[in-house]
Structure 1
Amino acid sequence: MRLYRLTAALIVAGLLALPAAADTPKVTPTAKELVAKSKPEEWRTPDPENLLYMQLPQGRVVIELAPDFTPLHAANIRTLVREHYFDGLAIIRVQDNFVTQWGDPNDDDNGDKSKIKPLGSAKAKLPPEYTRAIDGKLPWTPLPDGDVYAPQVGFSEGFPAARDPSSGREWLVHCYGMVGVARDVAPDSGNGSSLYVAIGQAPRQIDRNLAIAGRVLEGMPLLSALPRGTGPLGFYTQAAQRVPILSVKVAADLPDAQREKLQVLRTDSATFSAIIEAKRNRHDAFYALPAGKIDLCNIDVPVRVVAAADGKH
């Protein structure tokens, strides 16, 4: 009887020494692991009519236009591209922690106005497309956390966006990699002939003050790692500093063999929702204290290269 009591006491002591189940660290899957388990139908192939290929000496930058948000600018940019407006122009400005901008060097404040490249049949002025009416027919994936700049934020058609239900308006936001339309002071002065991409901490303060035309799907390091301009606002002061644009083409105008085989994870998919939650409440050996929240611009929409027609990647 004494032996039984001693054995039982030892077992109880051992159980008490074990960590409680609640203390066992919960490990959440990473975004990479979730993407690896995604289903084929959760991915979309961008319309080649909405894809731009900007060829720089260092490589190709792929931009997806957002015609549902900025249709007039998307159409004007396509016209500029198809009439070879951007070919031979340059990256003219790189401002640290803000934007990289490209266009006609002669069209900035210190340029030779007599040498400005004509726009061809593209429009010189466009109505500002800073916001649009909320479209309930298009997919909307909201974030559960608050936002400083808007009542609601989330993703629509693969783009980070914001909403104000009280006004019935929604708009794209300036996250890293988003492509905007440069303009002068006049709201209708932005026509797509000069574009910029956010390369630093999200400059959300300029949301709804400039039209956002799309986002970079591939090639961001070619734009974000360039030498910073030494002039005001990061403009290059010497022609030799500028990066030449060899060409810009619409993907639909190229043979299929020359197109990038890219797919974008649908932001209305179960996998994307799981990625949001995993990033909000990340648990692993490194993240001992998960944030429990996430900022809109801290969520990247996954893009993958498809190697074959059967969808393998």
Structure 2
Amino acid sequence: MKHLLLAAVAASLVLPASAQEPAPIPSPGEIATSAPAKDWTAIAPSDLLVMDLAPDAKGTPRRVVIQLMPAPFSQGWIGNIRKLAAAHWWDGTSVNRVQDNYVAQWGDATEKKALPEGLATVPESAYVTRSIAGFANVSSFMGRAFMINKKLKGPPLPPPFDKAEDAYTGVVGFADGWPIAGGPQSEYWPVHCYGAVGVGRNMSPDTGSGAELYTVIGHAPRHLDRNIAVVGRVISGIENLSSLPRGTGALGFYENEAERVPIQSIRLASELPAAEQPRFEYLSNDSDSFARYADARANRRDPFFIKPAGGADICNIPVPIRPIAAK
């Protein structure tokens, strides 16, 4: 009886301490995964470009899915890309350049394939837009990714973090799930983050037609912003491009035809049979879940981390995107 009494006393001393242990701090991925359905926005199949590469050496299919940039950004090039996809122009072309820590690029390596009629010539002025009024949801960090703390009513950050700015411009943020930047004279533009898809071009004033495209497979080359059109981003299958052998020619171009990776087809997802259309959704940047997610990316407090960074580059807050289960 004495031993039972002592055990009961010991248990009474242990249980309150255990109950007072703080709950584990979730990681950014855990925050996104637990976000309610209302915080996610579906991507229309008509805004998805599906690229099927030739199978790899083991016969494994290789598919890349690209989300096209919404209006008002880059719409001249987007219009051309839709026409190129409708004409099946990319079928039989190839990935012909893979430069380490930079880009993977695809198109007609011979530069002799005739383009469809009716493609627009897009001016350099279209690299920026002067209005983002058409976007439903805009969240600006005003040069401070961690300004999200204010929405969360978090503690103010001490100097110099309270005045930190984006290295390339004064305003960065998200509009309808896309990372954007802004500057003087109310100009706004999409930025080159990992996975961004851009339009290859020759020397200025050429701006490219959209037939030659690339995706970023390395550190975000923000110096390309406003110098080349950003027309989308890879949302699935980036590993099928980033893992390709590096080209040994100048700028990572493959030096012979055998090295190139054939493209079987590129289609708008809406052109595919309904049952075969890939479907995705993104975490809306005006949701509380995104606010918590962005704050967690800028200030990692989950168990592995020792010191929160106090900020994040706009490209270090990738918008969560996930496939939608077939119904």
TM-score range, shorter-chain basis? 0.7 to 0.9
Residues 43 and 279 of structure 2 are in contact (CA less than 8 Å); yes or no, is this contact kept in structure 1?
no
- Kept in 2: contact 1:26–1:284 (CA 8 A): no
Other-structure match for 1:66: 69
Which blocks of at least 5 consecutive residues in structure 1 are unaligned?
A: 1-17, 108-115
Structure 2 residue 64 is matched with structure 1 residue 75: no
Is residue 159 from structure 1 mapped to residue 178 from structure 2 by the alignment?
Answer: yes
Residues 26 and 283 in structure 1, CA contact (< 8 A), matched pair in contact too: no
Distance 1:126 1:184 in 2: 13
- Summarize deviations over 1:69-106 as a string: whole Å, max 9, x none: 11111110010111011000000101111111001101
Selected match of 1:120 from 116, 122, 127: 116
Corresponding residue of 1:110: none
C-alpha contact 2:298 2:308 (8 A) present in aligned 1: yes
Provide, for residues 220-246 of structure 1, a one-character-per-residue CA deviation record: whole Å limited to 9, x for no partner: 001111100000000000101000000
Residue by residue over 1:171-223, the C-alpha shift from the partner in whole angstroms, topping out at 9 and shown as x without a partner, is 00000000000100123441101001011000011110001001111010011
The range that moved more, 242-251 or 131-140, is: 131-140
State percent identity of aligned pairs: 42
Alpha-carbon distance in structure 1 between the residues aligned to 2:265 and 2:22: 52
Q: Which of residues 235, 242, 245 in structure 2 aligns to 1:224?
A: 242
Match for residue 53 of structure 1? Answer: 50
What is the deviation of 1:122? 4.1
Q: Secondary structure at the match of 1:167?
A: helix
Cross-structure match for 2:139: 141
Is the Cα–Cα contact under 8 Å of residues 45 and 279 in structure 2 kept in the other structure?
A: no
Q: Return 169-178 or 42-51, whichever deviates more.
A: 42-51
Secondary structure of the residue aligned to 2:185 is coil
User: Normalising by the residue count of structure 1, what TM-score does the alignment of the two structures yield?
Assistant: 0.85
Whole-angstrom distance in 1 between the partners of 2:224 and 2:309: 27
On the 8 A contact 1:180/1:213 being kept in 2, the answer is yes
Unaligned runs of 5+ in 2: 1-16, 56-61, 146-164
Distance in 2 (CA, whole Å) between partners of 1:32 and 1:189 is 37
CA distance, structure 2, for counterparts of residue 140 and residue 124 of structure 1:
29
Is the CA contact (8 Å cut-off) linking 2:27 and 2:302 kept in structure 1? no
- How far apart are 1:27 and its partner, in Å? 5.1
CA distance in 2, matches of 1:304, 1:256: 19
Matching residue of 2:311: 293
Mapped contact 1:25–1:284 kept (Cα < 8 A): no
State the alpha-carbon separation in 2 of the partners of residues 220 and 276 from structure 1.
Answer: 22
Matches within 5 A, 1:1-313: 28-58=25-55, 59-68=62-71, 69-107=73-111, 116-123=112-119, 125-128=121-124, 129-138=126-135, 139-143=137-141, 144-145=144-145, 146-164=165-183, 166-309=184-327
TM norm structure 2: 0.81
Q: Would you say the 8 A contact 2:77–2:120 is kept in 1?
A: no
| Post-superposition offset of 1:26 | 8.8
Letter in 2 for 1:49: S
Q: Give the CA deviation at 1:268.
A: 2.1
Task: Answer yes or no: is the 8 Å Cα contact 1:131–1:169 preserved in 2.
Answer: yes
SS at structure 2 position matched to 1:228: coil
Partner of 1:10: none
66-75 or 238-247, which moves further after superposition?
A: 66-75
> Contact between 1:230 and 1:236, CA under 8 Å: does it hold in 2?
yes
The one-letter code sitting in structure 2 at the alignment partner of 1:256 is A
The Cα RMSD (Å) is 1.9
Does the 8 A contact of 1:55 with 1:245 survive in 2? Answer: yes
State the one-letter code of the partner of 2:171: Q
Relative to 1, partners in 2 of residues 1:31 and 1:91: Cα closer, same or farther, differing over 3 Å? same
